[in-house]
Structure 1
Amino acid sequence: MSREKKNHILLSNLPEYNTNSLSSHTLPIWQLRLQTITDSPFQWRLRSNSTTHPATETSKGKGYSYSYSGRKRQCFVWERERERESMWRVAYSFPEEVLEHVFSFIECDKDRGSISLVCKSWYEIERWCRKRVFVGNCYAVTPAMVIKRFPKVRSITIKGKPHFADFNLVPEGWGAYVCPWIKAMAVAYPCLQEIRLKRMVITDDSLELIAKSFKNFRVLVLSSCEGFTTDGLAAIAAHCRNLRELDLRESEVDDICGHWLSHFPDSYTSLVSLNISCLGNEVNLSALERLVSRCPNLQTLRLNRAVPLDKLANLLRVAPQLVELGTGAYTTEMRPEVFSNLAAAFSGCKQLKKLSGFWDVLPSYLPAVYPICSQLVSLNLSYATIQSPDLIKLVSQCESLQKLWVLDYIEDAGLEVLAASCKDLRELRVFPSDPFGLEPNVALTEQGLVSVSEGCPKLQSVLYFCRQMSNAALNTIARNRPNMTRFRLCIIEPQSPDYLTLQPLDAGFGAIVEHCKDLRRLSLSGLLTDRVFESIGTYGKKLEMLSLAFAGDSDLGLHHVLSGCDNLRKLEIRDCPFGDKALLANAAKLETMRSLWMSSCLVSFGACKLLGQKLPRLNVEVIDERGPPDSRPESSPVEKLYVYRTISGPRMDMPGYVWRMEDDSALRIS
């Protein structure tokens, strides 16, 4: 009998062994293989009634028994090397066209990066077939490096300024200019179709270059960007004949005139998404209506505040296929014909799923949207000054709602109705209507969030502004929603304690990180000591982004975070008593992170110099508008510190108030 036949018979006689039941730490991806060893007079046959031990001789007495027969010994062993060899054979056995097709189904950038590390062949294939690129920091890599690495890109996303720029903590003129990227891509990527930018400075010249360089350009998303005017948008409208998406969300646009929409050619019909909600001035309503009416595939239309309510019905009638709508000003003189036209127009939008806008709401017009409330999955009322009774009437009819952004006018009563009505809610954001007021103007407390955590089992993401919180409430929220992945609590008054016990909120936030095992993003506020950071370091193993303000006692708090949070990528700190010791002791951790921002802390100029010397692969930038930091003692704290990983070296566009700490501890002054 052949050896292969004998091995087959032996394997078929081992029904007790079930590899699927082995625990993950004893059975990794490497499989058990049959190995024939000819130098033994025995044949070993393995039987198993255990599911926790690998097939080794030392497992005797733990559920494995051995039988002996024949002259050859055959046993199960772990063969990692053979599995590797098999993997290499598989890697080289498929034609490149097949692998390219397989790779096209893998969308995650991290997974694509892992694929490129398998072997040189896969690296080259992945390099040439990569169509989408994400650049998390425009200074982490140069345009030339990206172009060399990925020559056939069709879509690129680039982020610029740090996140704290949203809170006016990054000085004017800091950088994040997209012009070098656009110039390089205009030459290297003539087939580029999509550009998405966030917190970047883009000029009209760059917009015109985009419009004239990429012949099949389809998507332009400018999120929280600045530096351009409606003249640049007119160039996009005039030249990008295949444009599908134009999104200006939260951008600062110099609104020179509202006639830029008329630059879209009369033959242009490809628009799918248009977001002009950030524009301040009036738009050409006739041009807007013509544009909307001739684009049959338009699904998203988000208008600005200047579009009057009496014009909304006309737009809805010519675009009943809309899936997402952002209204303009939702107020006008109350006229029955306006209301009836609006209600009829909303009733005709059978596909409408997302609703936003509602500036300057006149409550008597709200019932016009009631017919489509049951089909809504997203409702953004973050600019709508709707009071609690009217919000309750609206929200109670949105039983399919998955995302709600709202001002604190909703109050605890409204959140209780939300919890009772919207069982599919995944994301909740409650913004303050009067963040600088000394006294509360609404009845919103921790109880509203507790109610939502109890009533909405799918809740995963929370941003909540309030004026009081307790450890008991945070503990209840953590136990109710262990599936939380994003939790951002902003208590308006800094360093507010538990309002019931006057104790720090350490225990409450500790419960959040302990029970929410998949937490990825966390923002802390209130009175907090180093104890909470010990909990974060112990339990926040999946935490990727952490934002801190007015928290902690000493360097020990920062040490707990940097030494314990294995997956931390972005750390933002302001007004915390963290200084040199913890930062320098955990310097190596910074090389695994995307960025660290510290402002109004206790980090000295001398420590920043040492950090630049220890970590030459990082850009260590001191931002200080008081003048050169070396004009003060090295022990003096710096205003702001921004540390980020880069493979491109120092940037060349630093303003006069930014100093880079070189690896020779010398200052680079622009």
Structure 2
Amino acid sequence: MKRCEGCFEVGRLEALGDDILLQVLDNINETRDRNSWSLVCKQFYRLESARKRKIRLLRGEMLPRILKRYRAVEHLDLSLCPQISDQCLGFVAAAAGPSLRSIDLSRLVRFSHLGLSVLAKGCENLVEIDVSYCARFGDMEAAAISNAKNLQTLKLVRCQMVSDLGLSLIAVGCRKLQDLNLKWCVGVSDLGVELVAIKCKELRSLDVSYLQITNKCIASITQLSYLETFVSVGCVCIDDKGLTLLKNGCKSLQRLDVSKCQSMSSTGIISLANGCIALQQLNLAYCIPVTNALLASFDKYDSLQSIRFDGCEISSSGLKSIGKSCKSLMELSLSKCTGVTDEGISALVGGCTGLKILDITCCRDLTDAAITAVATSCGNLSCLKMESCALVTERSLYMLGDRCPFIEVLDLTDCSVSNTGLKSISRCTGLTTLKLGLCENISNEGLTHIAAHCSNLQEIDLYRSVGIGDTGLAAFASGCPKLRMVNLSYCIGITDHGLKSLAQLEKLYNLEIRGCFLVTSAGISAIASGCKRLVELDIKRCYRVDDMGMMTVVQCCINLRQVRCFRDLKLFILCEYVYLTLFGDDLSLTVKRYGLCR
């Protein structure tokens, strides 16, 4: 039998040819499984190396070795490697060169304009750069990025040292920009935004949130023929005049976010309806009073699919108007809105039968009548957030389980939920996220129903649900193998036995057990041994966890990024592995030792 060069005998797989083997590789979704596949023989190793296009590096010192193996990498994420320097960026330019199309350098501080200049010139096909939260990124670095002539997406979130000068250099050098995010770039004014609008004619998305810009730059923005997304959250100097200017241009605008723009009124929003008829998403959260005249103007938006009114006052007649005007509505957020009643919700869903996402968080006057109407009318509902709707009972949950089988996200935090209610919603077998925080009437029995039928569950939040114990966790561990995020904070009945059950969850990456007083180092060690992918761990006020438990976590969980624990932990023995940051009586540990890549 023929042997694959340099490896053990593998039968006749090599006879299949590279094309067929690459098809096999493309059907392996898990990173860990793909890595195992590459270790079968040299042929598999070579094919996996040639096929990998996206890398998220977790150890900066491995960069040369990784890029030597994966020469066709197109997307490189270095945001978790704080030691990335100009020398590293130079190596990226030399090794990846023309194949590299996007790079993420967010939150890094050790590189300068020198490294960015080499990167931009050496990677001529670079189309996306993310330098968000890079505290030392200023005008010189912006000048370096301007050498990336083919750049299409640039994220500069909270780069507060960038001024109009730096932005103008980017505008002149990067004429092909399509997506620009300037959120919290407080050094940028009207002048910089105007120049971007004048020079970058292909812009499709522009985020100027929290900038001190005025109506002056809106006139230039309206000249962008292809603009589809405009986000101006917290731009308090833009008023109705600015919206009027926007109406006269930007005929292609599909998404508008003017939340927290408190200088605007309903008159300005109404004027938009006469121009931006292609609008699909509108965010008016914490912005203006929602009047009946405003809602009546929505009748002109034939394509409106998403509206956010968070924090606004809205009447039953207003909701009824939405139901009549917005027949194509798929998403509606009424989080923390006042004036929302059963009558209004019933009228709304009677017209918007295609609704898939509904947020009624803190709409405290709603009862079973409203939820029953939602369940009856919106059979394709996929996300329902109803935190603090305390008047809702098991009757509503029964209707949701019976009429809305496609629900994936359900938030019942601080609701009157019992085990009977959990049995009802367990019929929503596609659930991926379930939040049951502050539900004091549920117990292990209810969790068993969920675990038995909702095998696709990825996130469960049981914050302060004190009736939960180890038995419920055991049910989740066996019935929901895809769980990635688990919040058990202040579930005081949880012990080491429960954590040993959760240790079976190989995909778990976020675990919060704050205030679980019965948990000891034995339970934490079990989690560390079984949950190798753990990224974040919160053990504040778990006073029985000692240094040995923490050492096991840091040594076993090579992807660990953050640990939240208490001040009394003797951390000097961990100094090789972690950075320490004090937060009052607690500690936040950012782990320095990472894994390889994924």
TM-score by length of 2: 0.71
- Does the CA contact (< 8 Å) of 1:139 and 1:651 recur in 2? no
- Does the CA contact (< 8 Å) of 2:462 and 2:489 recur in 1? yes
RMSD of equivalent CA atoms: 4.6
- The letter for the 1-side match of 2:219 is E
* Correspondence for 2:350: 420
* Correspondence for 2:321: 393
Matched, 1:456 2:378: yes
Taking a change above 3 Å as real, the CA distance of residues 311 and 405 of structure 1, as seen in their structure-2 partners, is same
- Does the CA contact (< 8 Å) of 1:621 and 1:642 recur in 2? no
* Correspondence for 1:193: 127
- Mapped to 1, the partners of 2:27 and 2:231 lie a distance apart of 28
Cα drift, residue 153 of structure 1: 4.1
Taking a change above 3 Å as real, the CA distance of residues 364 and 454 of structure 1, as seen in their structure-2 partners, is closer
- Does the CA contact (< 8 Å) of 1:419 and 1:452 recur in 2? yes
Taking a change above 3 Å as real, the CA distance of residues 564 and 578 of structure 1, as seen in their structure-2 partners, is farther
Write out per-residue CA displacement over residues 566-597 of structure 1, whole angstroms, 9 at most, x where no aligned residue: 11122223221254423442364244322322
Number of residues of Structure 1 aligned to a counterpart in Structure 2: 516
- Does the CA contact (< 8 Å) of 2:513 and 2:539 recur in 1? no
- Does the CA contact (< 8 Å) of 2:382 and 2:407 recur in 1? yes
Unaligned runs of 5+ in 1: 1-83, 161-175, 434-439, 499-504, 664-670
* Correspondence for 1:117: 37
- Mapped to 1, the partners of 2:495 and 2:502 lie a distance apart of 10
User: 3-state SS of the aligned residue for 1:509?
Assistant: helix
- Mapped to 2, the partners of 1:103 and 1:352 lie a distance apart of 42
Taking a change above 3 Å as real, the CA distance of residues 312 and 557 of structure 1, as seen in their structure-2 partners, is same
Greater Cα offset, 462-471 or 113-122: 113-122
- Mapped to 2, the partners of 1:112 and 1:637 lie a distance apart of 26
* Correspondence for 2:153: 219
- Does the CA contact (< 8 Å) of 2:343 and 2:370 recur in 1? yes
The one of 448, 453, 461 aligned to 1:547 = 461
Taking a change above 3 Å as real, the CA distance of residues 521 and 613 of structure 1, as seen in their structure-2 partners, is closer
- The letter for the 2-side match of 1:432 is C
Q: How does 1:251-270 map to 2 (within 5 A)?
A: 253=184, 255-256=186-187, 258-259=189-190, 260-262=192-194, 264=196, 266-270=198-202
- Mapped to 2, the partners of 1:660 and 1:257 lie a distance apart of 32
Cα drift, residue 91 of structure 1: 3.7
- Mapped to 2, the partners of 1:463 and 1:146 lie a distance apart of 43
- Does the CA contact (< 8 Å) of 1:601 and 1:637 recur in 2? no
* Correspondence for 2:452: 538
Unaligned runs of 5+ in 2: 1-9, 81-104, 562-575, 594-598
Cα drift, residue 610 of structure 1: 3.3
User: 3-state SS of the aligned residue for 1:374?
Assistant: coil
Query: Whose strand proportion is higher, 1 or 2?
Result: 1
- Does the CA contact (< 8 Å) of 2:499 and 2:527 recur in 1? no
* Correspondence for 2:7: none
Point out the structure with max Rg over C-alpha. 1
Matched, 1:508 2:421: yes
Write out per-residue CA displacement over residues 267-289 of structure 1, whole angstroms, 9 at most, x where no aligned residue: 22121112334x1x531432243
The one of 447, 469, 474 aligned to 2:369 = 447
The one of 277, 302, 305 aligned to 1:374 = 302
Cα drift, residue 418 of structure 1: 2.4
Cα drift, residue 459 of structure 1: 0.9
Identity %: 18
Taking a change above 3 Å as real, the CA distance of residues 153 and 211 of structure 1, as seen in their structure-2 partners, is farther
- Mapped to 1, the partners of 2:16 and 2:457 lie a distance apart of 36
- The letter for the 2-side match of 1:245 is D
Cα drift, residue 351 of structure 1: 2.2
Write out per-residue CA displacement over residues 287-329 of structure 1, whole angstroms, 9 at most, x where no aligned residue: 2431341x22111112234221232121121111111122364
* Correspondence for 1:243: 177
* Correspondence for 1:297: 226
- Mapped to 1, the partners of 2:589 and 2:32 lie a distance apart of 35
- Mapped to 1, the partners of 2:139 and 2:449 lie a distance apart of 47
- Mapped to 1, the partners of 2:76 and 2:592 lie a distance apart of 30
* Correspondence for 2:135: 203
- Mapped to 1, the partners of 2:592 and 2:230 lie a distance apart of 48
- The letter for the 2-side match of 1:468 is L
- Mapped to 2, the partners of 1:196 and 1:574 lie a distance apart of 34
- Mapped to 2, the partners of 1:642 and 1:384 lie a distance apart of 46
Write out per-residue CA displacement over residues 476-503 of structure 1, whole angstroms, 9 at most, x where no aligned residue: 1111111212212222xxxx645xxxxx
* Correspondence for 1:313: 244
- Mapped to 1, the partners of 2:217 and 2:28 lie a distance apart of 39
TM-score by length of 1: 0.64
- The letter for the 2-side match of 1:400 is S
* Correspondence for 2:436: 524
